[in-house]
Structure 1
Amino acid sequence: MAITSTAKTTHFVWGLLTTSIAIPTMNSLPSSSEQFASYSIRTYTDRAFTTEIRPKTSGVTTQSHDLNLNEYTRSTTDYEKIIGEIRSWILFENGWDGEGARQPSENSIKDAVSFMHLIRESVELPEPMLHANGNVSLYWNDKGFYADLEFLGNERIAYFIKTKNDDRHKGTLSFNSIEVPAVLSILIGV
């Protein structure tokens, strides 16, 4: 029985890292798995790369893939950087600050990220902050305006806001991750 083979290349792209594997297709198994092993040659230039798969045996077809990453990349926005920083806090463990801080609350992180998605880049972006109690806060401090929103992790937000007129507002309110609570929308200008 004849063996028919083709090389199928699977690329997993994470940044500029690629992994290539050759998967044989055949009517019957070869006598040696070595027959289908392959290797990659990668050339990187100006964020563009070429990956060429070359089989060790003549029974496997060769495929070449060119990808210009300049067509598919853009700079990360400040908004995305804030969300990335907040999401990275899930990796912290108890004592992350060296002074006994609690592990970040997964629900607090989710609520803060949901809030960021709602405000997008419609207002001056806040600074993210992680409290020792494990809760995430977003705060603004700009030209006499100060706001601190602490995501309590139970679909509630504790807030303190001082306007440019020196009016002060504080309280706790419900947050459903679908819309910015009305009072915050008015006070922050979202």
Structure 2
Amino acid sequence: SLVELRRTVQDLDPGDTPGRGARRLLTRLPGANRLRDHVAKYASAQGTLNRIVGSLRSGQDELRRDNAALHTERTRLWESMGRLQEYAVLTEALDGVVARRIADTEHADPVQADALRADVLFPVRQKHQDLLTQLAVCAQGYLAMDVVRRNNDELIKGVDRAATTTLSALRIAVTLASALENQRRVTEQVRVLRSTTEELIRGNAEMLA
């Protein structure tokens, strides 16, 4: 929709109309109606602009809903990361306890030490590694969601700029173009009237001569 809006605005931009500026209006468009036609074109395109802006606003609402969902999910991930961090610390501490127990029984009872190593230490370390992996995945997702959220915020602002500043500037440009066209028309009428008056005065002078 932003691309469509840009194309529509460029198509309606009075700056692309020949005779831009008061001087060029007065000198290069005598008797022409190009700007008047352009204003009519803008009026007929207003429905298209409204449709585009409505579509942009709808997309903006979707982005806001996405951000709300992202906020909820990031909150959940943050809580999950907190629990995972606690579990990781716990399994790391348990790893140390089991490792010391194995070291203490290694010489006195090698069989028990091997059993502790296989049945307790290995699962504890595997669980610790799994927790670290889950923690990394959650952290990556948390950061990625933050990037998406910030991009959505920028897009929301971009829609506001497109729907307000851009269209306002276009309306002002078209209004000025219309005013300049009216100015040109009145100036032309004054010029014709002055010319007619001068001819009448000249004719009167010739009759009195």
- TM-score tier (shorter): under 0.3
Structure ID, larger Rg: 2
TM-score with structure 1 setting the length: 0.23
